[in-house]
Structure 1
């Protein structure tokens, strides 16, 4: 058919549709957000919990949480495409959806280019190519502008906290580490093997970062970052370089990472200004 579509997903699998998808089930909040960004929000017929951006997403029927999908609810939505989160969804459940005959595209961007590519490919699957291309180019342009402004600033050592219990951070293969680098920062745990490693509090104290950035439990809960204030010998604490950035702006693989990165760059500039005079 003239309208048939074939796209390779982030797992290297080819996803084939006879025509653009009209009924899409999204299995993660970042996927829902990207679909809206590329003009396909009105095609989402099912989404997971916490799919809360843009506000229109709140009205989409829920099919469980991203870590545990209600397969019956997915089937009830009668999708012609399911978009899954490779590292977040249950691999066995995703495979079961394939066994039931549903086309499944797996999303797992690991870089800014990967985010832009996801926008383009999801738009292709939904038949909204032009909107996807525009969203991708806008995102990459904003990131390039931040890199040009901040990338060559004096390096500054950063600890980014992803989670509290267990204490978790990111290595240099993570999207957040790319944001740190764009701002001229150096990820103090960048050399660790795991993408999202678990660490001990002593490891942070030993690393003695100049800046601590955290996302916290919600959009306006900086509890985790504030708690580091008790460690008064740390450089980040002594210089008041404990910064909170809403997690949806850095921890979702969407175009809003540009907003989160801009906030990070501003905070790192504040930290540079607080360095003692030579």
Structure 2
């Protein structure tokens, strides 16, 4: 059934000149582009190749994907979230209270109609692919309705904007930029300071172990490759990724290649639709993978799906994987 839509009138944007985020680091390009301005106009940022105008902090934000929702919750912006959609798993206990009043508008990517009915002034998407004509709406179209959009820079897939490789410095830049975009710069700075302290305290394994980062797929496994968040995390844990030579953040792999590599441990992404338990049952029931020592000895590490992508949970997920690895060795 079609609903009548009342297009939102473009809101007046206050002129606010914001200083740019940290620039490129020596270990990788900066995906969080600095703000630019000219001639007294409102500052803008280049977000995955799309110009986003800054100004008055958003008051009605719609979050698509867990990484977006959790970023907003971590920055203390729960009272500005009018809805969420396409979540990958439960919110961590530390943010449950903040998330309790946030309505779930769609189990999958919301339609443009659903977006407009929520009357947001800003859409924060975890993936670029969320903002299409078949999804929440194209970014240019939403801008015509007075709705600004932002995509997590680590999730950019537009040529020239893909992190290669993803690093913790780029992740911290992303948090700082989100603080500027959503009017929570001080909270972002404090969060980054806390996460840097945690990251610097971590002691990676020195045992020279190899690992498979198994995200999804049965006939063809989808695994963490050489340049994205999985590689970044495995490096910090002290594990050698057997798929490090594959391009991209994630890639289709083969069971034959996995068996040949014979990883010492297997990192399993735990998702509601493809849980870690389901993956373990499959690995143990297939004669090919059941012969792997890592499968026979239950040398599995678990990471929740929302923490498997670059975001505010990445540092804690890295610390947890180190702890799990230490437990396996006992």
After TM superposition, the structure 1 = structure 2 runs for residues 166-181 of structure 1, keeping only pairs within 5 Å, are 166-181=220-235
Q: Which runs of 5+ in 1 are unaligned?
A: none
SS at match of 2:226: coil
Q: CA deviation at 1:253?
A: 2.8
Contact 2:45 2:54 in 1 (8 A): no
The TM-score normalised by the length of structure 2 is 0.72
Q: What is aligned with 2:102?
A: 60
Do structure 1's residue 28 and structure 2's residue 65 form an aligned pair?
Answer: yes
Secondary structure of the residue that 2:270 maps to in structure 1? coil
Deviation at 1:90, TM superposition (A): 4.3
Q: 2:187 aligns with which of 117, 131, 153?
A: 131
Partner of 1:94: 138
Q: Does 1:164 align with 2:217?
A: yes
1:77: Cα distance to partner?
A: 2.4
CA distance in 2, matches of 1:35, 1:100: 23
| 1:47-87 Cα deviation digits (max 9, x unpaired) | 11327423232532334345x32212212222222212334
1:91–1:143 distance in 2 versus 1, CA, 3 Å: farther
Preserved CA contact (<8 Å) 2:227 2:247: no
CA gap 1:50/1:58 in 2 versus in 1, 3 angstroms: farther
2 CA distance for matches of 1:229 and 1:40? 43
Q: May I ask how many residue pairs the two structures share in their alignment?
A: 268
**Counterpart position of 1:243:** 301
1:140-160: CA deviation from partner (whole Å, max 9, x where unpaired)? 2212222xx216x13210001
Confirm or deny: 8 A CA contact 2:86 2:107 kept in the other structure: yes
The alignment yields a C-alpha RMSD, in angstroms, of 2.6
Distance of aligned partners of 1:65 and 1:17 in 2 relative to their CA distance in 1, 3 Å threshold: farther
108-117 or 2-11, larger mean C-alpha shift: 2-11
- 1:80 and 2:121 correspond: yes
Partner of 2:79: helix, strand, or coil? helix
Most deviating of 55-64 and 188-197: 55-64
Distance change in 2, residues 1:155/1:215 (3 Å) = same
Instruction: State the Cα distance separating 1:269 from its structure 2 match.
Output: 3.4
- Residue 208 (structure 1) aligned to one of 236, 257, 262: 262
TM-score under structure 1 length normalisation: 0.84
8 Å Cα contact 1:35/1:119 also seen in 2 = no
- Equivalent in 221, 238, 241 of residue 184 of structure 1: 238
Matches of 1:23 and 1:212 in 2, distance apart?
Answer: 41
Q: Which residue matches 2:325?
A: 268
